[in-house]
Amino acid sequence: MLDKIEQLDQQSAADLAAVNSAEDLEQFRIKYLGTKGAVKGLMGLLKDVPKEIKPQFGQQANALRQKLQGAFDQCKASLGDTGKAKKKASTIDVTEPGVPASLGREHVITQTIDDLLEVFGRMGFDAVTGPEVEDEYHNFVALNIPKQHPARDPLDNFYLDDPYASDNPHLLRSQTSTVQIRTMENNEPPIRVVSIGRVYRPDEHDATHYSMFHQIEGLYVDKKVNMVDLKTTLVQFAKAMFGDDAEIDLVPSYFPFTEPSAELYIKMQVRDKMEWIEIGGCGMVDPNVFKAVGYDPEEWTGFAFGLGIERVAMRKYGITDIRWLFENDTRFLKQL
Ligand code: DAH
């Protein structure tokens, strides 16, 4: 009878040595320690054990049970997470088709900004940036925009300070022309830069107006810069951006920071036909602007331009409502 215990001891030791995974271990537990396992079976034999060895048998069977339980616990702990991971891995059906990873894409405004930086970069324009929170000096005063000018109406700007209480109140910039001033304040000519960024105006939102949009500002300052340089640059830009068929037209206009000034129209493919689209303003830098930044207007000349990025993007991609650009509805954005 005591041999049976000895046998079970040896057999269980051999089985335990072969345990490699959580499943093996579970089989081991069922075989030896389960409710119908071998150890329970030993206890069932107790009634047939001769009286004189009963206590010994009981003791040894108990010792074996404890030994096996201890070995099981230890083995379980050492299998630990790998055991669990193996169990999990085995439940994955590798023949399932799987969930396709959805691809992100660049927003159309970002794409347009990249295209513009590339085109102007090839023409030698460096990219610069300026703050979105500006002061009245850089947004208006240094740009030769006088106090009574309608563009300075507090109702048409996002003032952050009381415009009547402060002599240089902060506001969200209403145009990227501010960066012309900041660039010239901090650099000596010659200068050839573009600056792209957000601008803010408290417009009611509709198909063509939004209270935030993007502009690109260009500035070229050197000796003897003239309108032909400006026009050549804009023609090159229009063709690079909209194709060789694109044409430009400069229509005389007025901006306080340029003299002479013009509105820029570009003739481009809009769906099935060519259309003239007004895309921004430009001109020769006004001498007063040079004076504000400490450049001698007798020595330096320059041109500047400012274009609306949304206008460019909407025409290029045939988008008819500016709000779609900022609602972040992926069903719309995915089409571009
Ligand atoms: N800042 C003007 C606007 O927001 C656009 C502009 C016009 C910029 C003429 C210029 C320029 O640099 O020369 O309407």
Of 248, 307, 311, 301, residue with least CA distance to 282: 307
Centroid of ligand 1 to alpha carbon of 275 (angstroms) = 22
Query: Confidence class of residue 82 from pLDDT cuts 50, 70 and 90?
Result: low
Mean pLDDT to the nearest integer, 47-52: 86
Give the SS3 label for residue 44: helix
Residue 88 is predicted with a pLDDT of: 56
Residue 127 is predicted with a pLDDT of: 98
Cα separation of 304 and 316, whole Å? 23
Residue 89 is predicted with a pLDDT of: 59
pLDDT over threshold 90, residue 68: no
Cα separation of 139 and 170, whole Å? 9
pLDDT over threshold 80, residue 212: yes
Domain with CATH 3.30.930.10 in the chain: 108-333
Cα separation of 117 and 110, whole Å? 11
One-letter identity of residue 17: A
Cα separation of 281 and 265, whole Å? 9
Under 8 Å between Cβ of 167 and 117: no
Reported pTM: 0.72
**Number of other CB atoms surrounding residue 297 within 10 Å:** 14
Residue 103 is predicted with a pLDDT of: 81
CATH number 3.30.930.10 is the correct assignment for the domain at 108-333 = yes
Mean pLDDT to the nearest integer, 4-12: 87
Mean pLDDT to the nearest integer, 115-130: 97
Q: Is 305 in the pocket of ligand 1 (CB under 6 A)?
A: yes
Of 331, 46, 178, residue with least CA distance to 170: 178
- Which of residues 50 and 220 earns the better pLDDT score? 220
Write the residue with the smallest CA distance to atom 13 of ligand 1: 282
Give the SS3 label for residue 172: strand
pLDDT over threshold 70, residue 314: yes
pLDDT over threshold 90, residue 196: yes
Q: Is 255 in the pocket of ligand 1 (CB under 6 A)?
A: yes
